[in-house]
Amino acid sequence: MDCLAVALSRAARTAIAIIAQLPLCALAAGFGALQPIAPGVFVQRGADEAPSTANRGAVANLGVLVAPSGVIVVNTGSSAEQGAALLAAIARLTDRPVVLAIDTQASPDQVLGNVAFRARGIPVLAHRATEAFMREHCDTCIADVKSTADNDALDVTKVAWPSRLIDGSQSIRAGGRALRILHYGWTERPGSLAVLDPETGVLFAGNLASFGVVPQTHLGRLDKWIAALGELQALSPAIVVPGHGPPGPAAQLAQMRGYLQELLDGVRAAYQRGDGLMETVNSLQLPGYRNWPLYDTNQRRNVHFAYLQVEQDDLQK
């Protein structure tokens, strides 16, 4: 029985039970397996750590939806190599063609695989602000990734732009499957999207969510981001696939929201006390999240940029 048939045969199980009990399928050339999380829906898990040579920069979750007449991919990976490996894994999973890829935001660990998809004529959908962000920043993003995750795969990776641009939330149909593309403005960064599969209730939250892993918030507008997480939770998805960290129930969106709210509240309190930037960076800790991976890597930087945002908001009043 192939991987898709296994997933479909267990449709009666809840989404969380599917994660725990279904086997791993379609290994993607050393980048991990496609794990079934709902009927016809698969995730390739990224490493819950910073990009490195060892993990080849593959630290983000990638999604695959096998629809009646084609396959949709949510985020394409950290390099041409990972994008090609993902396509090969999909070909082992099903003979249905890949008809669309979606970039949920312009994050190198999720869009540098675009080149493998565009080389095969597969359209890549993104928000117009994502393409603009990529054109402004991605000439240097490969060099930035190589500085932390140097590997031969990046030597042949080129930036490939999205080919299908949208301006806001909308419903689309691809491969015979209806999807909802959700946009809440500048949240985690310009153009950030989430993708909801109404058929299974699976929500691909992109970098709007990070479960059990401290996110990078330096490009975010925290108030709008916090509000967007509330909107996503109100949709009551059956399961949420975050950009980083393991898939989980919708309730975990509240934990992500809690981190951002505590970060913002702590910085605002420090600013109102008259604490300086570096004083706040050095002193503001969030003990409830200290055990999350990447706390030591990202916390100080998150405080730094949250302080600058609070300061800018105050100066603009």
Q: Report whether 221 contacts 187 (CB < 8 A).
A: yes
Q: What is the pLDDT at residue 142?
A: 60
The angle, 0 to 180 degrees and rounded to 10, between the axes of the packed helices 295-315 and 252-273 is: 60
Residues 143-157 pLDDT 10s: 666 555 555 555 556
**Which one-letter amino acid corresponds to residue 299?**
Q
Q: Report whether 78 contacts 58 (CB < 8 A).
A: yes
User: Which DSSP string do the residues of 148-197 spell out, in sequence order?
Assistant: HH--HHHHT------SEEESS-EEEEETTEEEEEEE-SSSSSTT-EEEEE
Residues 156-177 pLDDT 10s: 567 889 999 999 999 999 999 9
Closest CA to 210 of 265, 171, 158, 248: 248
> Per the structure block, which two tokens stand in for 150?
């140097």
The count of other CB atoms within 10 Å of the CB of residue 49 is 14
Higher pLDDT, 227 or 139: 227
How many whole angstroms separate alpha carbon 87 and alpha carbon 98?
8
Count the helices and strands in the chain (H runs, E runs). Answer: 11, 13
Q: What is the pLDDT at residue 136?
A: 87
Residues 290-315 pLDDT 10s: 999 999 999 999 999 999 999 999 99
Q: Report whether 281 contacts 193 (CB < 8 A).
A: no
Closest CA to 193 of 106, 109, 264, 114: 106
Residues 44-72 pLDDT 10s: 999 888 888 788 878 899 999 999 999 99
Q: Report whether 3 contacts 231 (CB < 8 A).
A: no
Q: Which domains does the chain have, with CATH numbers?
A: 3-254 (3.60.15.10)
> Which phi and psi (to 5°) does residue 233 adopt?
-65, -35
Q: What is the pTM of this model?
A: 0.87
Q: 170 forms bridges with which residues in the sheet?
A: 181
Q: Report whether 72 contacts 200 (CB < 8 A).
A: no
Establish how many alpha carbons lie within 13 A of residue 141's alpha carbon, considering only the half-sphere containing its beta carbon. Answer: 21
Q: Range with the lowest mean pLDDT among 46-60, 81-95, 247-261? A: 46-60
Return the SS3 of 72. strand
Closest CA to 263 of 228, 214, 219, 230: 214
Higher pLDDT, 27 or 259: 259
> Of the spans 103-117, 127-141, 264-278, which averages the highest pLDDT?
264-278
